[in-house]
Amino acid sequence: SGSSRRPLPPPRPQNPYMFGLGDVEDEEEEEDGEKNQIELAIPKKLMVLPKNVLVDLNPPKLKLESLVKDWNAWRKRPRSVSASQDAEAVAAALGPPLESMATFLSDAAAAVATG
């Protein structure tokens, strides 16, 4: 018993109009599952000692500084409003979120600048 047995024929599709397409999809899902298992074996995070790492923070520092400058210039420019809108109400509604974002960008730029 064992190798002398003939393999069973593949099962016929339940719906003859599908032409076995469901079976192909099942095989693809199994292959995808195998690929995902391989990806899961790769660590998502690596831990290193700070003394073993050298990072140049100048490029992100310059980028953040330009973002702060551009954001503040954009934030302070005049806004066009339609005739049905109240310009002061629009400015009052937009002011706090825009100011909050400006503060966030400034804080981020300062944090990167201090290294």
Query: Nearest 10 degrees: CA dihedral of 48, 54, 58, 61?
Result: 10
Q: Is 65 exposed, middle or buried (0-12, 13-18, 19+ CB in 10 A)?
A: middle
The confidence score (pLDDT) of residue 57 equals 85
The confidence score (pLDDT) of residue 11 equals 64
Q: Tell me the CA end-to-end span of the chain in Å, nearest whole number.
A: 71
pLDDT by 10s per residue, the chain, length 115? 455 567 776 666 566 565 555 555 555 555 555 555 556 677 778 888 878 888 888 898 899 999 999 988 888 887 777 778 888 888 888 888 888 999 999 999 888 887 6
The confidence score (pLDDT) of residue 66 equals 92
